[in-house]
Amino acid sequence: MGRPREFDVDEALETAMELFWRKGYEGTSLTDLTEGMGITKPSLYGVFGNKEALFLKALERYERTKMSFFHEALKEPKARVTAEKILRGFADAQTADKDPSGCMGINSALACSEAAADIQKCLIENRHRDEHELGKRFERAAQEGDLPPGHEPFDLARYIMTISQGTAIQAASGADRAALYRVIDMALQFWPEPAAEGS
């Protein structure tokens, strides 16, 4: 029933994600979007609603396809492995050759006009949510004696997220993955690696 759609919705959303990632929410115009996605404005509005709804769908896709390492890392039995996998996971996502540099959630609306205030607030809440989830993971680690002595779980979580947000700026400024890895190595120095098992 009805004329069939002439474009792939998922493919178009991928393009929208890349555009928002690279140019930010307000920096990406509807013309950028329709030309990039290869569709017309009525098609875009028919399928995705409006610019804001399209962004939120693109963000959801970003979280699902590029940030999946985060929740995976939370499942690691040792907190230090969780921390390291999160740091390297962010660095990897921020420096993938085929993707824009940096972090979509930070690039999209760090500072913006009032028109994008809702998007900005949403992205800030996402950062808080992730940091809080990591804090809860570290709280469990503290109970397990799995945290370096003298550190609060939520301070540790903020520390890890701060490094990751710092590498996002570094990546957006041109730093390559190897450089970010060296930063991460330094950032984890204070956290002793677990002694190797064995006789």
Partner DNA sequence: ATTTTTTTATACCGATCGGTATAATTCCAT
Partner DNA sequence: ATGGAATTATACCGATCGGTATAAAAAAAT
Distance CA(37)–CA(19), nearest Å, equals: 10
Q: How many angstroms separate the CA atoms of 46 and 125, rounded?
A: 28
C-alpha 168/C-alpha 86 separation (Å) is: 13
One of 11, 40, 75, 129 touching DNA (CB under 7 A): 40
Q: How far is the CB of 164 from a second copy (least distance, A)?
A: 7
User: For residues 22 and 137, which CB has a smaller minimum distance to a second copy in the complex?
Assistant: 22
How many helices, marked H, and strands, marked E, lie in the chain?
Answer: 10, 0
* Binding test (CB under 7 A) with DNA, winner from 7, 154, 181, 191: 7
Residue 26 sits in the site that holds DNA (CB under 7 A): yes
Q: Select the binding partner of residue 39 from DNA, a second copy, none (C-beta < 5 to 8 A, by kind).
A: DNA
Q: In whole angstroms, how close is the CB of 25 to DNA at the nearest point?
A: 8
Residues that bind a second copy (CB under 8 A): 21-24, 26-29, 32, 102, 106-108, 110-113, 116, 124, 127-128, 151, 155-156, 158-159, 161-170, 172-175, 179, 182-183, 186-187, 189-190
Among 11, 29, 118, 186, binds DNA (CB under 7 A): 29
With vertex at residue 143, the alpha carbon angle to CA 138 and CA 144, rounded to the nearest 5 degrees, is: 90
Residue with structure tokens 């969780």?
82
Which of a second copy, DNA, none does residue 52 bind (CB under 5 to 8 Å by kind)?
DNA
What 151-160 contacts at long range (C-beta under 8 Å, 24+ apart), as own/partner pairs, is 156/83, 157/131, 157/132, 158/131, 159/187, 160/83, 160/86, 160/87, 160/134
Closest to a second copy by CB, 12 vs 156, is 156
Cα R_g (the chain), whole angstroms: 19
User: Cβ closer to DNA: 52 or 76?
Assistant: 52
